[in-house]
Structure 1
């Protein structure tokens, strides 16, 4: 009985060794796949790092472009504002010139001439008084000298 018990124990140990060897082979195959996956994972990580660096450079370039556009737009806006103010001043001066010219033409007009119908803006102002020819010449000269003093052209 001792002898059969020893053979049974030895057989059990042999079977367990075979199962262990089979399991080790299975683990070895899995480790090989894991190592091959590790290499492909490293390649993917390297590609991601490269793509991230490219994206960071692109973002930096975009920020620089936005800054340049913002400065350019600000300069253009400031120039447009100053041009608008300049045009407003010129329109005001033009309005004054038109008023002076109308005064000159009214003063230079003979007394018997027919007056044109006033425009709606001129309708709110009282009509200028009729002047004699000497007074008309004086008024025209005065309007001319006012124009000359304001720094504009006389003609």
Structure 2
């Protein structure tokens, strides 16, 4: 019986050895799959890291562009303000000049001598046309 029990023990050990080898092979394959997935994950993380760095550079570029545009816009707003002030002064001077011309034209009409009636009518008509043109220009 000694031989039979040794054979049974040897058989059980052989079965255990075969099952452990089989389990080891399965575990090895799964570890290979995990390593492969880990390499893909590392590549994915590297790509994501590069994309984040590119996005940060783009945001920095956008901020700089916004600052440049703001400076140019501020300069243009200042120029527009000064031009608007200058245009206001020119308009005021033009209005003053038009008022003076109007007063001069209407003042000479009132001082015209009665003996120049036909000339007065022609002059008055021209003055009225000039006044109408000045009023339209305002």
**Smaller-chain TM-score bracket:** 0.7 to 0.9
Determine the structure 2 residue equivalent to 1:17. Answer: 17
SS across alignment from 2:48: helix
Q: Return the alpha-carbon distance in structure 2 between the equivalents of residues 5 and 43 of structure 1.
A: 56
1:45 Cα shift?
2.1
Query: Which has the higher relative contact order, 1 or 2, with Cα contacts under 8 A spaced 6 or more apart?
Result: 1
Q: Which moved more, 1:52-61 or 1:64-73?
A: 52-61
Determine the structure 2 residue equivalent to 1:37. Answer: 37
Alignment partner of 1:48 is 2:27: no
- Structure 2 length-normalised TM: 0.72
| Structure 2: gaps (5+ residues) | none
1:2 Cα shift?
5.1
Alignment partner of 1:94 is 2:94: yes
Structure whose residues are more often helix by fraction: 2
CA displacement 1:18-42 (0-9 Å, x = unmatched): 1110010011111122222322322
Alignment partner of 1:64 is 2:64: yes
What RMSD, in angstroms, separates the aligned Cα atoms of the two structures? 2.5
Q: Return the alpha-carbon distance in structure 1 between the equivalents of residues 101 and 68 of structure 2.
A: 48
Q: Which moved more, 1:57-66 or 1:104-113?
A: 104-113
Q: Return the alpha-carbon distance in structure 2 between the equivalents of residues 3 and 43 of structure 1.
A: 59
Determine the structure 1 residue equivalent to 2:75. Answer: 75
1:47 Cα shift?
2.1
Determine the structure 2 residue equivalent to 1:84. Answer: 84
How many pairs were matched up? 120
Q: Which moved more, 1:94-103 or 1:28-37?
A: 28-37
SS across alignment from 2:23: helix
| Structure 1: gaps (5+ residues) | 123-155
- Structure 1 length-normalised TM: 0.65
